[in-house]
Amino acid sequence: MIKSVLKALLFIFIGGFIIVFGYLMFFFFCAGAFDKDYTPKELAENFNKKEKNIYILKHYFNSIVPENKGVVVEFEGNNKLSRFGIYGNSGSQEFFVWDLKINTSKMDSILLTLGWSQQTLKLLKEKLDNANCIGIESGEPTKIGFKRSGMGMYFFNVFDAPLSDSIRKIYKDDTCAYIIVNDKLILEYGGGAFGSTSSLY
């Protein structure tokens, strides 16, 4: 009887250790525990250095997205999209996928729905590289992904026109996720894989 209890306790202990160890390994390596964190000052400085290229990227991307669509693209290197999504006017999701290889027939067929080609993606990647960014979401403001850190990403919310008081109030209501830098730029740190939102501070 005592041996059975001891075996059960040992099994529980080993199982618990494996679970905790696995979680810690995920946190440190997969969740990006060692990724760099950026301060609002560093983000603003990066934006200022690449402002011209960022606006070129913004206007190019919005010009190639069909009027009745919304598109989000995030690159992981030169040959893979870590995120790719297409949305309708109402914000309804028409297509979304993680980790999609670029040079495939599947990618070609998806691009055709937007009137894009492999060359379109190549040019978009060049403009993202010139802006020192990795992803972009169409619209106004255009949300441009700067760098990933952990499970989230730092974004530049880039406006063409100066912020109105009503728009400014919306972003001020959530001061942990957003920082208004000036009339045309709002910084954001948003949760990536799990859709949560973290703090910039």
- Give the tens place of pLDDT for each residue, 14-65: 755 666 444 444 433 444 444 578 888 999 999 999 999 999 999 999 999 9
Number of domains in the chain: 2
Tens-digit pLDDT profile for residues 119-177: 999 999 999 999 999 999 999 999 999 999 877 899 999 999 999 999 998 888 766 78
Residues 138 and 150 in one domain: yes
Structural domain contains residue 136: yes
C-alpha 166, offset from chain centre:
26
* Inside any domain, residue 71: yes
pLDDT computed for residue 174 by the predictor: 64
Residue 67 lies in a domain: yes
**Do residue 75 and residue 138 come from a single domain?**
yes
Angle subtended at Cα 101 by Cα 95 and Cα 107, rounded to the nearest 5 degrees: 50
This prediction's pTM: 0.77
3-state helix, strand, coil in the chain (%, to 5): 40, 30, 30
**Domain shared by 45 and 138, yes or no:** yes
For residue 3, give its domain range: 1-34
The pLDDT score that the predictor gives to residue 66 is 95
**One domain, residues 93 and 156:** yes
Mean pLDDT over 78-106 rounds to 92
Residue 200 located in a structural domain: no
**Same-domain pairing of 84 and 140:** yes
Which residues make Cβ contacts (< 8 Å) with residue 101, sequence separation at least 6? 79, 80, 81, 107
Look up residue 189 and give its two tokens. Answer: 């740190």
Rounded Cα distance, 155 and 153, in Å: 6
Residue 150: CB atoms within 10 Å: 18
What was the pLDDT predicted at 194? 32
Alpha-carbon distance 163 to 124, whole Å?
A: 27
Asked if 81 and 176 sit in the same domain, the reply is: yes
**176 close to 201: Cβ distance less than 8 angstroms:** yes
Contacts of 79 (CB under 8 A, 6+ apart): 101, 102, 103
